[in-house]
């Protein structure tokens, strides 16, 4: 973990800049999609062990909405956009102007909208990271699901084998009339991909 700590100490400012640029690009893209202003706060960016992901979103048994994408290209990996259900409801209500009214479940349009939000965020952040690293990284077609956080992460492992032991966390906050709607965006590079990203950023991982 020494190289991981060294990366965190000396290069986290680079990842914060990646997050800032990605958030700006995402806000612009969402604004165009929805034809209304979308403001996003400066994201919090951190590195954390894989096993702490579920805890960051309320624990393994916390029911959440997740958009899952596979990262393809020079540094393959997995991406999750995870949001609490109440935040997803509020976000959809603001984006689609559809009242919640205590409904259960989600319409096809709402699932599609959540997937598109995840797709825009993924594309924006990956594009920003690719600009810094000069690596090719593109998102696959997204899928969305509602389940316990632990089950969602297990699904990713079953689908694509063992994930890397570290994750890049970008905590995204949408601002609407001073109401904060938080989502957690995780990039989990495959085991061999983290070294490629480190090397591209000029970090020695011996």
pLDDT at 134: 92
pLDDT at 72: 93
pLDDT at 17: 82
pTM of model > 0.95: no
pLDDT at 202: 73
DSSP label at residue 74: S
Domains in the chain with CATH codes? 2-200 (3.40.1550.10)
Q: Which residues of the chain, if any, have pLDDT below 50?
A: 1-3
- Say how far apart CA 79 and CA 139 lie, in whole Å: 8
Per-residue model confidence as pLDDT tens digits over 23-67: 888 888 888 877 778 888 888 888 888 788 888 888 999 999 999
pLDDT at 86: 83
pLDDT at 9: 60
Question: In the structure, how many helices (H) and strands (E) does the chain have?
Answer: 6, 8
pLDDT at 76: 92
CA of residue 143 relative to chain centroid, distance: 13
DSSP-derived secondary structure for 172-192:
EEEEETTEEEEEEEEEEE-HH
pLDDT at 2: 38
């Amino acid at each position: 973990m020494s190289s991981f700590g060294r990366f965190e100490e000396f290069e986290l400012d680079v990842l914060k800049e990646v997050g800032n640029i990605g958030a700006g690009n995402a806000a612009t893209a969402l604004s165009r999609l929805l034809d209304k202003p979308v403001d996003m706060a400066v994201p919090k960016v951190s590195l954390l062990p894989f096993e702490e992901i579920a805890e960051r979103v309320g624990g393994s048994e916390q029911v959440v909405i997740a958009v899952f994408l596979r990262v393809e290209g020079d540094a393959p990996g997995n991406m999750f956009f995870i949001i609490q259900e109440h935040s997803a409801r509020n976000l959809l209500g603001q984006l689609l102007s559809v009242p919640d009214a205590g409904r259960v479940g989600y319409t096809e349009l709402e699932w599609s909208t959540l997937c598109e939000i995840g797709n825009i965020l993924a594309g924006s952040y990956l594009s920003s990271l690719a600009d810094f690293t000069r690596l090719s990284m593109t998102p696959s077609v997204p899928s969305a699901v509602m389940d316990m956080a632990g089950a969602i992460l297990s699904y990713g492992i079953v689908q694509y084998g063992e994930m890397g032991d570290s994750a890049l966390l970008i905590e995204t906050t949408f601002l609407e009339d001073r109401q904060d709607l938080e989502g957690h965006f995780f990039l989990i590079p495959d085991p061999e991909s983290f070294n490629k990203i480190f090397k591209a950023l000029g970090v020695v991982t011996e």
